[in-house]
Amino acid sequence: VGTAATEVTVGAELGALRDYVDGLEALKATAHLLGWDEKTKMPHKAAAGRARQKGLLAGMYHQRFTSPETLRLIEGVENVDPDNVEARLVRRDYEIATKLPEEHVVEFTQAASLANHAWESAREQDDFTIFEPHLSKVLELSRRSAQYFGYETEPYDALHDQFEEGSRAAELEPLFEQLRSPINALIDRQPEPDTSALERTYPIADQVAYCERIADAIGYDLQAGRIDETVHPFCTNIGPYDVRLTTRYQEDWLPAALFSVIHEAGHGIYEQAFDRLELPAVTGQAPGLGMHESQSRMYENTIGRSRAFWEYHYGELQRTFPGALGSVDLDGFVRQINTAQRSFIRVEADELTYNLHIAVRFELERAMVNGDLEAKDLPGAWNDTFEKWLGMRPPSDREGCLQDVHWTGLFGYFPTYTLGNVYAAQFVEECERAIGPFEDHLRRGEIAPIREWFDEHVYRHGRTLTGKEFVQRITGGPVDAGPLIRSLEQKFG
């Protein structure tokens, strides 16, 4: 498969397609700037005007992308090179974009927006009845989307495919099943968590400076990015050589900023690689959310929470926060950033229990989309399913089925979190086979050998392979939870 720019002979037709996609991507990146600015800098009163700007730009993008010109340029390349990977990718995007009738997109967008507002109230008041009619509507429209997209086995696959091309519910089911007992066995063996040292006073200004240093140290390029403050951390691509991170700072909880910055920097390193390796815009993207998450989770958990990493970095962290960490030794710090226990809220869950939270959601949203579970029955089903996977029942819907925003429109998204963990562990095993144990490098502050391996085996291929194809190509086998279980057993066993 031809991938990086240098491998492809660029004919006039391909050049024309690339220029066209470049323009579309510049438009999409501009929309990302509007979103980034909204969450980081925009004045309070500008919200309504900004919503209009975003809607307008999204409409212009859609109109351009679904125009006959797009098809003409795709066909131009296909006529001279029928197997051209870039034409294939743009054709796939084009077909997806044109599968949903415009009135359905409009209806869906409005229903999702209303559902979002209702969900906020419902969660705040712990009252599922506020959300139920909206969930029901969005679910109905999502089922209709699945029919428009089409599928082979079950409707859920049509939606999940939008987030992780080629991944199927029938494969996810055994994957989650494979994780259930080993993880539960490990959780049972964890000591009572102690994170007292991380709750001391960490002056925000010092956190800001330290987070920039640690992002730089793991390979995030601050000359082609920046870190700002938001309520919910994210990473966004604003254009060529402009990939930005956000985080939130809590004075009395160091992990809030520190690990979200390392996590988002993982996303950022992936996105920055496409510019650094000079991939064309068509291919210079991650193929799906699972692959993207594999990088953020590898940087956060495998690297950022490892003892070896902190062997090199802990001294500077202590010097930055002498009041909080002066009396805490390396082992104590590493223990405190790696605690695990069962809890009700996904976004507060640790590395070990996280995938069980996802299993619950996968099972429920699959049943909903496939028509086996209705909105009104969700609260009961949630509690039963949660108990099945984690062995306890939520005391309220707020700590149960009302906690996540995803079901206001993003059915099929959840499994990508676990796929990210699974991919990451599979890739790390292969990478270590090639360059030796991560800890030997991290202990010396070396990150380059890891990134170079990912440049070669992942980043430079952009989205010319799916997540599943990456795994096959790198490991010679299928997506497999074995390596993830082994790595968790090594850390928490």
**Minimum distance, C-beta of residue 344 to a second copy, in the bound complex (Å):** 37
Task: Give yes or no for residue 34 binding a second copy (CB under 8 A).
Answer: yes
Residue 313 structure tokens: 């970095």
Of 274, 282, 235, 239, the closest CA to residue 65 belongs to: 282
- 348: number of Cβ within 10 Å: 11
Task: Give yes or no for residue 80 binding a second copy (CB under 8 A).
Answer: no
Cα 358 to Cα 195, 398, 413: the distances in Å are: 24, 17, 10
The distance of Cα 453 from the centroid of its chain, to the nearest Å, equals 21
The Cα 285–Cα 292 span in angstroms is: 9
Q: Which is nearer to a second copy, 1 or 60 (CB)?
A: 60
Residues binding a second copy: what is the number (CB under 8 A)?
A: 35
State the SS3 of 288-347: EHHHHHHHHHHHHHHHCCCHHHHHHHHHHHHHHCHHHHCCCCHHHHHHHCCCCCCCCCHH
Helices 354-369, 378-390: axis angle to 10 degrees equals: 140
352 close to 322: Cβ distance less than 8 angstroms:
no
302 close to 483: Cβ distance less than 8 angstroms:
no
Q: Which of 23, 101, 436, 445 is close enough to bind a second copy by CB under 8 A?
A: 23
Q: Which residues pair with 227 in a beta bridge?
A: 245
- String marking each residue 59-78 x if it binds a second copy according to CB under 8 A: -x------------------
Q: Which is nearer to a second copy, 41 or 189 (CB)?
A: 41
Q: Which is nearer to a second copy, 229 or 404 (CB)?
A: 229
Task: Give yes or no for residue 15 binding a second copy (CB under 8 A).
Answer: no
- String marking each residue 255-294 x if it binds a second copy according to CB under 8 A: ----------------------------------------
Helices (H), 101-245: 102-125, 128-149, 155-163, 169-188, 204-217
Kindly name the residue from 132, 264, 271, 365 that is annotated as catalytic. Answer: 264
**Minimum distance, C-beta of residue 262 to a second copy, in the bound complex (Å):** 19
Q: In what order do the strands lie in the sheet with 242-247?
A: 227-229, 242-247, 235-239
Residues 191-230 that bind a second copy (CB under 8 A): 221-226
Q: Which is nearer to a second copy, 44 or 189 (CB)?
A: 44
Q: Which is nearer to a second copy, 57 or 71 (CB)?
A: 57
Q: Which of 5, 16, 39, 50 is close enough to bind a second copy by CB under 8 A?
A: 50
**Any catalytic annotation for residue 69?**
no
Q: Which is nearer to a second copy, 133 or 240 (CB)?
A: 240
**Minimum distance, C-beta of residue 46 to a second copy, in the bound complex (Å):** 4
Contacts with a second copy by CB under 8 A lie at 22-23, 26-27, 29-30, 33-34, 37, 41-46, 48-50, 52-53, 56-57, 60, 221-226, 238-242, 244
Active-site positions read 264
